Amino acid sequence: FGAPIGGVLFSLEEASTFWSAKLMWRALTATALASLTLAALQGMDLSFFGLISLKTPDGFTTKNGLTSLPIFAVLGIIGGLFGALFNDIWRRLSAIRPKKRYLRLCEIATLSILTSTVLFYSSLHLGICTPKQDTDWVSRDFERQFNCPDGQYNELASLMFAVKEQSIKEIIFFPDRFHSWKGTKV
């Protein structure tokens, strides 16, 4: 989340069937101490304070103003509608899901294999080979060669198989890098 304490509250709220105040304070204390320890080990650099860190590159300025609020409001409404649709579909699917443990494990294994296969073959067939960038800020963990000649990287495979934090940074700060029409459709 980029907000470790908020993540603990969210997981307690969503995953718990019983809300214990004693457990909540223990978890919050442990999370706060872990965050401070992580910051101390990184030289008190508080820009990386969780799973997703959106530290901007040097010289990059953001342009957030009141003009972007209507866009965010529309995105929030769309997200809420998709959330309601997801909850409705989940409720309907829960009624027909298997009840036996081994059938549930088979369901999970099937979905896992299907997801991995789709990610792999979509990156293989829809990904476009692009020349590697020579910028200091691009992480060496982002660009995946994945069936491309030397000196090039596969755009879609880089987005799918790189560290998710780095993929989000690349999309936000360097949207021009992803110019292939096939990759943006996926």
Quote the CA–CA distance of 171 and 154 in Å, as a whole number: 15
For residue 61, name the pLDDT band (cuts at 50, 70, 90).
low
For residue 89, name the pLDDT band (cuts at 50, 70, 90).
very high
For residue 186, name the pLDDT band (cuts at 50, 70, 90).
very low
**Residue 75 has what pLDDT?**
92
Mean pLDDT, the chain, whole residue set: 77
Mean pLDDT of 153-178: 78
Higher model confidence: residue 3 or residue 127? Answer: 127
Contact 128, 183 (CB under 8 A): yes
Mean pLDDT of 121-135: 82
Mean pLDDT of 74-84: 95
Higher model confidence: residue 81 or residue 14? Answer: 81
Residues in CB range of 57: below 8 A, 6 or more apart: 137, 173
**Residue 184 has what pLDDT?**
47
Quote the CA–CA distance of 87 and 2 in Å, as a whole number: 25
For residue 132, name the pLDDT band (cuts at 50, 70, 90).
confident
Higher model confidence: residue 33 or residue 35? Answer: 33
Residues in CB range of 93: below 8 A, 6 or more apart: none
Is the predicted pLDDT of residue 79 greater than 90, yes or no?
Answer: yes
Cβ-based neighbour number of residue 78 at 10 Å: 10
Helices 21-41 and 4-15: crossing angle in degrees, nearest 10, is 150
Higher model confidence: residue 171 or residue 94? Answer: 94
**Residue 147 has what pLDDT?**
87
Quote the CA–CA distance of 167 and 181 in Å, as a whole number: 18
Q: What residue ranges in 66-163 does DSSP mark as E strands?
A: 129-131, 152-154
Burial class (CB in 10 A: 0-12, 13-18, 19+), 137: middle
pTM exceeds cut of 0.85: no
